Amino acid sequence: MDFEPGRGDNNGNLKPEPKPTNPDSTEGGPESPKPRKIVAFTAKLNICDSYPTHSSILKFANVLVNEGDGYSTHTGKFNCPLAGLYHFTLHMSTYGRAQCSILKNGQRVVSAYHTSLPDKCCQVVSIGSVIELTEGDQVWVNLWGPTRHDIFATEDNDTVFVGFLLA
C-alpha cells in the first residue's frame, strides 16, 4: 500500500521521513564525497639559525608537523599540494629589529616591522593571513631591510611558521 513519508498507512503506522543528503557528510554511501585531504605544517627556527644576517628566505629547519609534505626545509617554502584556502601564521621571538613578510609566489601578502623598545626586552611579533592557493603555488617568509635581524630561537622561545588548509 502506498503512502506519503511522514504519514500513516491504514493501520496507523508512520513511515519515517527520508534523511536529507548532506554534501559535506563523511558517512559512507555512493553519494558521499571522499574525505578532504589534510594539509598542515608547523616548522620552528633552529637555535643555530638565530639572528640571521641575510635579507632573503627564512628557513625553518625543525619541522614538527608536515601533513601533505608541503613544507620544504631545503627551500624554506611551502609548495601547495592541493588548491584551497590556507591560513598562514608567523610568530617571531625578537630582541630588536625584525622585518619580514609572508610572500605568495614572490608577492608580498602581509608584512611586519618591529624595532626594539628602550629596555631591550624580548617581544613576540606575529603576522598571519588567509590566502587562496592553487596547486603548485609557493608561500614563504622573507626577511627584508638591514643585514642583521634580531629574530631568535632558544630552548624557551620559539620562532614558528605555521600553515594549514581551511577549505
pLDDT of residue 165: 98
Mean pLDDT of 117-145: 89
Task: Domain 40-165: give its CATH code.
Answer: 2.60.120.40
| Summary mean pLDDT of the chain | 84
Using DSSP, state whether 139 is helix, strand or coil. strand
| Side-chain half-sphere CA neighbours of 52 within 13 A | 23
Question: Using CA of residue 87, residue 91, residue 96, residue 98, what is the dihedral sign?
Answer: negative
The one-character DSSP state at 92 is E
- Does residue 3 carry a pLDDT above 60? no
The amino acid that residue 91 corresponds to is H
In this predicted model, what pLDDT tens digit does every residue of 13-67 receive, in sequence order? Answer: 666 655 555 555 555 555 666 677 999 999 999 999 988 888 899 999 999 999 9
